[in-house]
Amino acid sequence: MAQVPAAVIAAGGLVGGYAVARWTKKRPLGGVALAAAGAVAAREWERKAGGKAAALLSGAYVAAFAGSHPLAKKVGAWPSVFAVAGVVGAASWVVADRRGR
């Protein structure tokens, strides 16, 4: 069975978490989606690239979430979310997913 790359999980978690929060108007529910995807991605990062890489990528995931807020004030909410999701997805692919192939 083909596995979903951790990069897709991480980027999808950032986009999905925002989408859930926005469309349900319940920010905590978006946070649950964000955290759940982050936990799954972290498990995959640890499995594929080790604990150190998982810790660094998890930090990048949290930093992307936090950084999307001030960036949104400059470029808008959706562009900000897509930008940080792209950065985290690319970092994840380079560090963990590319190695797994």
Domain ranges of the chain: 6-97
What per-residue string of b and e applies to 24-33 under the rule 16 or more CB within 10 Å gives b? eeeeeebeeb
- What number of other Cβ atoms are within 10 A of residue 88's Cβ? 24
pTM of the full structure: 0.93
Model confidence at 100, pLDDT cuts 50, 70, 90, reads: low
- Distance between terminal CA atoms of the chain? 14
The answer on pLDDT for 13 being more than 80 is: yes
Structural contact between residues 72 and 49, judged by C-beta atoms closer than 8 angstroms: no
Model confidence at 98, pLDDT cuts 50, 70, 90, reads: confident
pLDDT tens for residues 15-61? 999 999 999 999 999 999 999 999 999 999 999 999 999 999 999 99
pLDDT for the residue numbered 26: 97
